[in-house]
Structure 1
Amino acid sequence: MATTELGAALRHWRDHVLPQAVGLSAGGRRRTAGLRREELSQLAGISADYIIRLEQGRATNPSRQIVEALACALRLTQDERDHFFRLAGLAPPRPGTVPQHITPGVHRMLDRLTGTPVAVFDAAWNQLLANPLYTALMGEWHGNDLNAVWRNFLNPHNRVRHTTESKGALQAAQVADLRRTAGLYPDDPHLHSLIAELRRRSTQFDNLWESAAVGEHEAGRKTIDHPQVGALTLDCDVLSVAGSDLRIMVYTAQPGTEGADRLALLSVIGTQLLTG
């Protein structure tokens, strides 16, 4: 079957990603050591049929979102990701836009923290990746709700317990952080669109934006009301990745506490909750 340079590169990268390196089982007979198309489809959230069409050269113009999703699933380096964009006829993300590339090192770190709820956000607080325990703890988000700022201003369904004061403090910190991000990445159209829509739909956000405060959002201790295991009081730390402005959110429990016991229970039943 005829292919293209894009298709050949995608097939090469897929063949060289070991299933166990991305948290999948390597069991069963395989023609190659790398990922099956169905496995890449699962990781990237893209149909296996479309991946076949890309590899065979029958699809040649994938969107930026598809290239980004495949690059993340394949754990490409920054140079490989930029090359992938060019093969797809797209310009790699510019310096003035919010970085969304998750380095192989960050992927490997998440692989090793299977017993800890961890998620990766970009500088605009878009959730890029979450491990299964984080999703079991906080719930699974889609669309605009993948943005933590959007969620805290416009979605009332949130498992984090707040008082009026703590909710206001969180929102103020998020707006100040988003204003800092807007100053660092002035050419990002998605960031401009997010801010404009939040200002239009939330009077509280608009008032805070007008205050012109600039800062960084730092998490602290939180109580999460989980529908199956009950309330968990956990420490929430936000770690920054040098050079990429990614934020890694990590939830941990103080040993010997009820929160630690309930988090351990959730780590056992979490997968069942997500698939049941």
Structure 2
Amino acid sequence: MDKQELGTFLRSRRERLRPEDVGLPSGSRRRTPGLRREEIAVLAHISTEYYVRLEQGRAPRPSSEVLAGISGALRLTDAESAHLHLLAGTAPIQNGLHSREVRPSILALLERLPGTAAIVTSALFEVLAWNDLAAALMEDFGKVAPEQRNLARKAFLAPPVPDAPPYGISDGAEFRQTVVMQLRTTLARYPTDPAVVGLVDELRESSTEFARLWERHDVEASPVLTKTFRHPVVGDITVDCDSMSLTDRDQHLVLYSAPQGSRDAEALALLNVLGTDSIASAAR
């Protein structure tokens, strides 16, 4: 049970609620944002004293029934409720290290997708595997150090110009929000993994934008269905974006494809022919 993080998360969810969200009059004497602690306690059918102690990080582990009541009172989404249970220690936590080993069958699959750019990412947004088209579309991952293949670092610490999205993607701001949300969930699952803790600390200390988003305590991201890459050789390419969870390794298989016969599919086909040399030539 992470008492301090649990308390901070509860407070952040309480402060975002308005009285009218839960059927209470707004009134004119509220000096702080959100609902009062006693209001949440009443809605959750628990004592105000116990809820206050939860937010202060001083309470013992709540039961699943208490957490269910608090989730309802705070109007948590399914993802937020699952995160609450993780923080309270009532959901399975993987105390080992996050996996960087990609299944051989997935590696073989990447090579069977010549018209689709495909990568495998870890729970820390590390690019673990890729096919040739992904290298031509994004970058030649094989020529950079492993730590430089981390998409979270690329989004927050290494843009060519301030706030520039990696690979010129059209949803740069949304991607940064997604990174923060997923890293918060990853930290809850792997609280003792030095790589996880180290990356979060690095980003919080080195990026004011990451630190700002981290303090929002959001844990649910909207799915990205399309993405536009600004490629230095073939220009803008809009692709369908599909992410599949590889649950046994806590990894994601990310696929970028385009409708057959479209201009974007033709651009991907051209990149497949040009390969990574096209990026290198454009950079010179």
Q: Which letter does structure 1 place at the counterpart of 2:246?
A: V
Q: Give the equivalent residue in structure 1 for 2:124.
A: 124
Q: Secondary structure at the residue paired with 2:239? A: strand
Deviations 1:27-53 (A, max 9, x none): xxxxxxxxxxxxxxxxxxxxxxxxxxx
Q: Give the equivalent residue in structure 2 for 1:35.
A: none
The question of whether the paired residues in 2 share the 8 Å contact of 1:145 and 1:155 is answered with no
Is 2:277 aligned against 1:250?
no
Question: What's the TM-score once normalised by structure 1's chain length?
Answer: 0.60
Q: Which letter does structure 2 place at the counterpart of 1:214?
A: V
Where in structure 2 are there 5+ consecutive unaligned residues?
Answer: 1-93, 161-165
CA 1:98–1:149 in 2, change beyond 3 Å: closer, same or farther?
A: same
Q: Which letter does structure 2 place at the counterpart of 1:125?
A: F
Q: Name the % identity.
A: 34
The question of whether the paired residues in 1 share the 8 Å contact of 2:244 and 2:252 is answered with yes
Question: What's the TM-score once normalised by structure 2's chain length?
Answer: 0.59
CA 1:199–1:271 in 2, change beyond 3 Å: closer, same or farther?
A: closer
Q: Which letter does structure 2 place at the counterpart of 1:131?
A: N
Q: What does residue range 1-276 of structure 1 map to in structure 2 within 5 Å?
A: 95-141=95-141, 142-143=144-145, 144-157=147-160, 158-162=166-170, 166-215=171-220, 218-273=223-278
The question of whether the paired residues in 1 share the 8 Å contact of 2:122 and 2:252 is answered with yes
Higher-Rg member (1/2)? 2
Q: CA deviation at 1:232?
A: 0.8
CA RMSD of aligned residues (A): 2.1
Structure with the larger RCO, 1 or 2 (CA within 8 Å, 6+ apart): 2
The question of whether the paired residues in 1 share the 8 Å contact of 2:169 and 2:230 is answered with yes
Q: Which letter does structure 1 place at the counterpart of 2:123?
A: A
Q: CA deviation at 1:145?
A: 2.9
CA 1:129–1:217 in 2, change beyond 3 Å: closer, same or farther?
A: farther
Q: Secondary structure at the residue paired with 1:159? A: helix
Where in structure 1 are there 5+ consecutive unaligned residues?
Answer: 1-93
Q: Give the equivalent residue in structure 2 for 1:82.
A: none
